[in-house]
Amino acid sequence: MTNDDEIKPIEEIAEKQEPALESKTTPPPAAPLPAESQPAATAKTPVAPPPPPPTFATSKAEPGKKAVIRRTGGEGGWIKYLILAVVILLIGAGVFYYFFYQVTFEISPTPTADKILLDNNQVDPGTYRVKPGVHELIIEKQGYISYFSSKKYSFGERAVVNFTFKSALAPTLSVDKGSFPVFSEDKKYLFYLDQNSAISVLDLSDKSGKKSTLSNGQYPTTKILKVSADKNFALLLDDEALKVIGFDKTDLVNQPETKLPPLSSAINSFSWNNNASNYFPKANSNIIYDLKTSGGWEVYLANLSHSQADIIMQVDAKLFPNFYMDWGESPNQVLITGGEIGVLDLSKRDYKKIPSDKQFIWGKWAPGGKRAVAVDSEGGAWVYQGEKLEKLPFTSKANQIDFIDSSNIAAVSSGKPIKYNFDTKAQVNYAEVKDLSDSISFLARSDVFYFETVQGIYSGNYIEPGY
């Protein structure tokens, strides 16, 4: 050992030793001590952080306002169930309304109909559903009996209409080639012109159809025929004159006939009062007629001999392009149509227009003069009563409405006979009768009706359609 190897104290060596450089390498771990000799741990063992809480969508809060927290998960489930429940309810309600609430019409007549009207709407054969209530169904075919139904239907009711059409009824030819039929006042006799144009009568109470000729003269150019209430004479207008013809059954050869002086070609209509009154003491003792002039119409009131005739009214042709009068049974009221509609009061020489925007072509008083019926140019039927004009629920034509009595009428409407009651407003539709739609005139009793065509005078019965 050299002198340089002199032993120095440990402390001196430590003081003179330079600091060691910091190692960048990690020293190997020290070997673990036996379990019984390991010192207690002085630092906590690191624990894994808990899972983050559910996130919530937040909206940026404006200055001075709190942020509103909105859920982004777990919402809307109950809304979906609510919407589903509403949809199911709506579908169920629709099924109930369509199949169980509405009234169902199944329409399929045989053979195919010309026209089907459901509540006045034209439809084709098929199935239709409508709301409960009153519904009207009309099914028509030319030459057959029409189907008519008007009733109140309950919800869910089904109407199956698949009938087979029945042929229209055949009328009875009462007078071959007969024309101008007119009832006696009591409706027990039917007066007419026979095929020879002579005035004849049919006794309606005689089931054998007994006919009698009442005139020796023949009147082939007749325009109007009326018979007195006592059945003793007729008033007839033809191309020759306005004539009064007496029914002297003991002497037809020398039968009395009076030709009144007015020019027949200028007369469009005439009428008389069918019953006696204080104003005219004898029924049919006075007549009223019109005369066509260059300025319009002049209305005359005259007795049957025409020994007295007075002009009582002048009429503007613009108001009445045509002219038609009916005196009826009212002692002083004459119903005037042929343009506007109005009433002429003979006792006051006063004319009163009935307010309406329609043009009327025909009118007739009821027995007793309580009311009158009229037909406008479009076929609408009307009643005048209580100084009011009211629309009737059917259409017709001139000379195709007749009074059965003061409260009931019969009419031809769409080719079929109907009855209408003014007190109850009830209408009854009867089965179609062949050729009735072509009738020229129509007369009605309660049990039977008569109508005129170019073939003659027919009779028919009121028969229910029967479908």
- Domain contains 40: no
Of 121, 136, 161, the one marking the end of a domain is: 161
301 with 156, same domain? no
Read off the amino acid at residue 403: F
What range does the domain containing 253 cover? 172-461
- Domain contains 378: yes
299 with 155, same domain? no
Read off the amino acid at residue 323: F
Q: What is the pLDDT along the chain (467 residues), one digit of tens a residue?
A: 444 444 344 344 344 444 443 444 444 444 444 444 444 444 444 555 555 555 544 444 455 555 454 555 555 678 877 777 777 777 766 666 666 678 999 999 999 999 999 999 999 999 999 999 999 999 999 999 999 898 999 988 999 999 999 999 999 999 999 999 999 999 999 999 999 999 999 999 998 888 999 999 999 999 999 999 899 999 999 999 999 999 987 777 788 899 999 999 999 999 999 888 777 778 899 999 999 998 899 999 999 999 999 999 999 999 999 999 999 988 889 999 999 999 999 988 999 999 999 999 999 999 989 999 999 999 999 999 999 999 999 999 999 999 999 999 999 998 899 999 999 999 999 999 999 999 999 999 999 999 999 999 999 999 999 88
- Domain contains 116: yes
C-alpha dihedral sign at 173, 176, 182, 188: negative
91 with 112, same domain? yes
Distance CA(207)–CA(184), nearest Å, equals 17
- Domain contains 44: no
124 with 248, same domain? no
Domain count, the chain: 2
Of 122, 138, 161, the one marking the end of a domain is: 161
426 with 455, same domain? yes
297 with 248, same domain? yes
Distance CA(152)–CA(137), nearest Å, equals 12
Distance CA(455)–CA(162), nearest Å, equals 36
145 with 232, same domain? no
- Domain contains 80: no
314 with 395, same domain? yes
142 with 188, same domain? no
C-beta separation of 228 from 243 below 8 A: no
- Domain contains 73: no
By residue count, the chain amounts to 467
- Domain contains 32: no
318 with 450, same domain? yes
141 with 193, same domain? no
- Domain contains 275: yes
132 with 203, same domain? no
Cα dist from 301 to 230, 271, 275, 343, whole Å: 21, 10, 16, 15
Neighbours of 181 (CB within 10 A): 23
Of 109, 130, 161, the one marking the end of a domain is: 161
Distance CA(380)–CA(385), nearest Å, equals 16
CATH at residue 303: 2.130.10.10
pTM of the model: 0.76
Cα dist from 355 to 108, 314, 358, 360, whole Å: 45, 20, 9, 12
